[in-house]
Amino acid sequence: MADARPFHWEFEPPKIPRERYLVNGGVALEGTIQVSGAKNAALKMLAAATLTGERCRFSNVPEIEDVRTMAETLSDIGVVVDHPERNVYEVSAGDVDWLFVPLEAAAKMRASFMLLGPLLARFGEVVISNPGGDRIGRRPVDLHVDAMRALGATIDYRYGYYYAKAPGRLRASEVRFPIVSVMGTENAMLAATLADGHTVIRPAAQEPEVDDLISFLQKMGADVERTYPDTIEIEGKRRLRGAEHKVMPDRIEAGTFAIAAGVTGGNVVLEGADCATMDALVQVLGKAGVSVSCQPDRMEVDARSAGPGKLKPVDIETGPYPELATDIQPPTTVLLTQAAGDSRVHEEIFEDRLEWTGELAKMGAKIELKGPQLAIVHGPAKLRAADVEISDLRAGASLILAALAADGTSSIGGAHHVRRGYENIERKFLDLGARIERVQEGELGTSE
């Protein structure tokens, strides 16, 4: 039994290299880069591969720390994970030796909790730790747990672990979420693919990454379909087969580099970018005075005529797709520091996501917090080099953007956060003419 071992030992956070970015700003970015595969799709597909004992092959997988952590977690529980070439992973979950996802994995990456649904559905039990991840506000997993209970699972919480069981098969049901939850939708969907009967999920998250996951599940033989924009329906199957899938491009990475062009007054071409999944950001850039040209699998962002100080202020508000993504709000906030006037930033998803702006203020940004979820950005601000610290993944990329627009050389600590979600970000910035270097300083314990 998976719960035969004790799970309340003292946990020592893993040691990871302490790294910093050194960024010499003042250069308008110019050139072309290839957008990597989507982090938020790839991680869920690696979890979904445990729904079958047959081999699943994924291409266009980003080479990032979170993917490596998920691969290690799968290997630790007995799944065979191969990495035959760059950006390609193969997963074979013919058997799982140990239905236990430990604190070590959860502390590094919140997406480890995505293993709850597929392991419970296929093997009938799993013990999984309360997840970690970036500290940007409450991200309760109660929605996931309640969804599994709605599908017939019994789940107890002890010593920081969820003990989940589903003797026989999960039973199909209507899963209703009180709010839109992307991971909650995905976890319920994965579990329902092997449940007995017809499951309806509403309101279901509408993010493109969810639809990419649906596409992969259909290749596995799952009977799953988005029947309305906010509704997903699944007819459970006894078993699924292996499949191959190419991960969609990362719209958050594409958006980050699009904003980098705007912040520096440059001209950047993003190969592989899908404008159709980035409409809310494209509209914000247009209102700010940044020219965006869209073609199939290609996006050009030209801010040469509307550089820093010439941009227009824009009020933004984050929300579930198709609204502006919360992950793209921090870099957009950097862009608004260069607009000629005041902009309002409403962060409606995570209540602590604006805390990082204190580091941005060290670089000369004029940001007035009107509570935990509203900021007034007074522009244009003359950004200057500073010694700042990254608190989370998206804040890290945003501080790099600010440093690219600042005078002098900035030192940005906590580079490991950025490596969790951006594939070789410094190399891509170098290809665009940026002056950036990643340096190692030793080791530091972290729980993120």
207-217 tens-digit pLDDT: 999 999 999 99
> What pLDDT score was predicted for residue 16?
55
**Closest to 211 in 3D by CA, of 199, 222, 226:** 226
Question: CATH class for domain 37-246?
Answer: alpha beta
Fold match between 15-36+249-445 and 37-246? Answer: yes
**Closest to 250 in 3D by CA, of 70, 87, 60, 396:** 60
> What pLDDT score was predicted for residue 132?
52
pLDDT tens, 49-71?
999 999 999 999 999 999 999 99
- What does the alpha-carbon distance between residue 365 and residue 392 come to, in Å, rounded to a whole number? 19
Residue 448 burial (CB count, 10 A): 19
Mean pLDDT of the chain: 91
- What does the alpha-carbon distance between residue 306 and residue 171 come to, in Å, rounded to a whole number? 57
Place of tokens 């529980």: 77
> What pLDDT score was predicted for residue 307?
67
**Closest to 363 in 3D by CA, of 320, 339, 397, 334:** 334
Band (362; pLDDT cuts 50, 70, 90): very high
State percent of the chain over pLDDT 90: 81
> What pLDDT score was predicted for residue 104?
78
> What pLDDT score was predicted for residue 138?
45
Q: Where are the domains of the chain?
A: 15-36+249-445, 37-246
Q: Is the pLDDT of residue 352 over 90?
A: no
**Closest to 46 in 3D by CA, of 27, 24, 66:** 66
Q: Is the pLDDT of residue 78 over 80?
A: yes
- What does the alpha-carbon distance between residue 187 and residue 144 come to, in Å, rounded to a whole number? 7
The CATH superfamily assigned to 15-36+249-445 is Enolpyruvate transferase domain (3.65.10.10)
The pTM (predicted TM-score) of the whole model is: 0.92
pLDDT tens, 214-265?
999 999 999 999 999 999 999 999 999 999 999 999 999 999 999 999 999 9
Amino acid making up residue 357: T
Band (369; pLDDT cuts 50, 70, 90): very high
Q: Is the pLDDT of residue 290 over 90?
A: yes
